[in-house]
Amino acid sequence: MTSKTEQSKQSEIDAGDQIQRLTAENSRLRMQFDSTAKQVQELNEFIQIMLNLSPFSICIIQDDQLIYINKAFCDTVGYTPRQFRDMPPWNFVFEADRQHVRKSVQAMLEGQAESFFMFRLMTGEEKIKWILGSVAYIHMNGKRAVLGNFVDLTEGRVMQLAYNDTLTGLPNRKLMMDRLEQALVAAKRRNGRLGLLFIDLDGFKDVNDRYGHGEGDKLLIEVANGLKDVVRRENDTISRIGGDEFIILLTDISQRDHIELIIRHLFERFAAPVPIPGKDLKIPVAFSVGIAVFPEHGEDSDTLIRHADEAMYHIKKTPGKNGFHFYQP
């Protein structure tokens, strides 16, 4: 029979073995935990690096607050991370597009929309950019959040095709409207003035009828090049909005004389008939120009364009045409 002393010794040995096993298991688990924690830390560091190196603008929105933004997002929108801290997510969306973005985001999150949507944003430098966006639900800290992924299309070839006139290379109506909206925002903040020139070629139909549409297109290209010679400031915009109609947007206008000086240069530039490349042909060019000034003649883009158009038709009805007229209420 086993004595109580032997039983006690065996119990001590068993307890010691169990403690050793528990200690070894605890050490193994601690090493495993440390290894896992290190892997998680390295993975987080890797994700952070990848997000900041990504050319795509990425943000995370939770409880209607931006809780994460990467470097590309800051670069695209034009604000620093500190400036974003107290900024609602919708503030950088162009005001006219905010309702569209809200509906697009909600529809996409509910699986009722396409994978991407387009919208405009207003940067910290008061520039309008076209953005292609996508969103998805994720979880952060046990709560649902929205992950946003965005691409700046402003300088891309797709945007060039969509917003530039294919014949002359000038901005088209869509891009002109964007530039005008942008200029209006800046002018209202700075109490500035803008000039909008609505230009129509006089007798262009006769050119097409007499020489053909091919020569008419060449004339339009030469007119576009001539307009570039006259309007050279980087912040001004020349656009072809269709047919033989052009719009010139003049920003930072200090006085009315500045606009009249530009128009005089325009008529001087086209005082002589325009040579047509590849042809022994020169075609006389005449313009009817209507002008509207912000804020005197309107405070929104549609009103300014309409009034400049009305002023242009005032010249069209004048015998001889080839002149300019400021809008008169």
CATH for 76:
3.30.450.20
| CB of 168 closer than 8 Å to CB of 241 | no
In a domain, 45, yes or no: no
Which pLDDT value is given to residue 191? Answer: 92
Q: Where are the beta strands (DSSP E) in the chain?
A: 57-62, 65-69, 117-122, 128-140, 143-152, 194-201, 237-242, 245-250, 274-275, 282-283, 287-294, 323-326
Q: For residues 133 and 172, state if they share a domain.
A: no
Q: Mark whether 309 and 189 lie in a shared domain.
A: yes
Range of the domain at 200: 164-326
* 77, 219: one domain: no
- Domain boundary among the residues 128, 152, 176 is at 152
- Between the CA of residue 172 and those of 56, 179, 237, what are the distances in Å? 27, 11, 10
What integer pLDDT is reported at residue 261 of this predicted model?
93
Task: Give 3-state DSSP helix, strand, coil % of the chain, rounded to 5.
Answer: 50, 25, 25
Residue 239 domain-assigned (yes or no):
yes
pLDDT digit string (tens) for 1-46?
455 566 566 566 666 667 777 777 777 777 776 666 677 676 667 6
Residues of the chain under the 50 pLDDT cut? 1
Residues 170 and 316 in one domain: yes
Residue 158 in domain: no
Q: pTM (2 decimals)? A: 0.62
Residues 177 and 312 in one domain: yes
Q: What span, in angstroms and rounded, lies between the C-alpha atoms of 64 and 52?
A: 22
Percentage of the chain lying above the pLDDT 90 cut = 35
Domains held by the chain: number:
2
Tokens standing for 119?
Answer: 């919208």
Same domain, 197 and 229: yes
CATH of the domain at 226: 3.30.70.270
pLDDT at 65: 87
Last residue of a domain, one of 152, 183, 207: 152
Domain boundary at 94, 117, 152, which?
152
